[in-house]
Amino acid sequence: MSSPICALLLLVIAVSGCSSPGVTSNNLEVWVWDHREAIDDFSELRLSLSAAAVHPAGQRRPEGWIELELSVTELDLTQYIEGEKVLIVQAAVMPGHYDAIWLTVDQVKATLKNGQLATVAIFLEPVALDFRVNDGRITSLGFDLVALDLSDHPGQGYELHVREVVAMGN
């Protein structure tokens, strides 16, 4: 082959990249914010995130989860209120239909506004959510987390739950 043809071929390969066919770079985003329930009780509500995953429709629920790489593994939920949110995942996934998402929080370190440490039990499970990831478009999903104050019930304290998961601008 002549060198101009080789150079052109190398340029085409470099521009097209080596990604899998049908996968657009960073076509899925996952955001987190807090609903306003008991967050005002805390000066800090630090979450340690360990995983996020989506589930392709048509597969049995215990199988087929696609783990997403987290760009944020620790955050202070008190910073993401009143419209503020944090981007925890930017990932490339195969276009298609998905039916659930899961966020795993391993630990919560909580400090109340009066300086006391608080225990926050974690109650996060997979959330059924019907959404599509399309080639050439960004799909954004958002976890609205909520810290509930159950201290008015004997033996109870605070709990972390998913209030809702939404598809944003999808």
Full residue range of the structural domain in which residue 109 is found? 22-168
Residue 58 covered by a domain:
yes
Q: Is residue 97 part of a domain?
A: yes
99 closest CA partner among 129, 127, 124: 129
Distances (CA, A) of 111 to 33, 38, 47, 170: 18, 12, 12, 36
Residue 170: per-residue pLDDT:
53
User: Could you read off the pLDDT of 5-56 as tens digits, one per residue?
Assistant: 333 333 333 333 333 444 546 699 999 999 777 788 999 999 999 999 999 9
Burial of 23 (0-12, 13-18, 19+ CB in 10 A): middle
Within a domain: 7: no
The CA-based angle 161-102-147, given to 5 degrees, is: 15
Q: How confident is the model at residue 119 (pLDDT cuts 50, 70, 90)?
A: very high
Q: Is 1 contained in some domain? A: no
In a domain, 5, yes or no: no
Distance of CA 118 to the CA centre of its chain: 25
> Does residue 9 belong to any structural domain of this protein?
no
Q: Enumerate the β-bridge partners of residue 51.
A: 104
Indicate whether 3 belongs to any domain.
no
- Structurally, the chain folds into a number of domains equal to 1
Residue 121 lies in a domain: yes
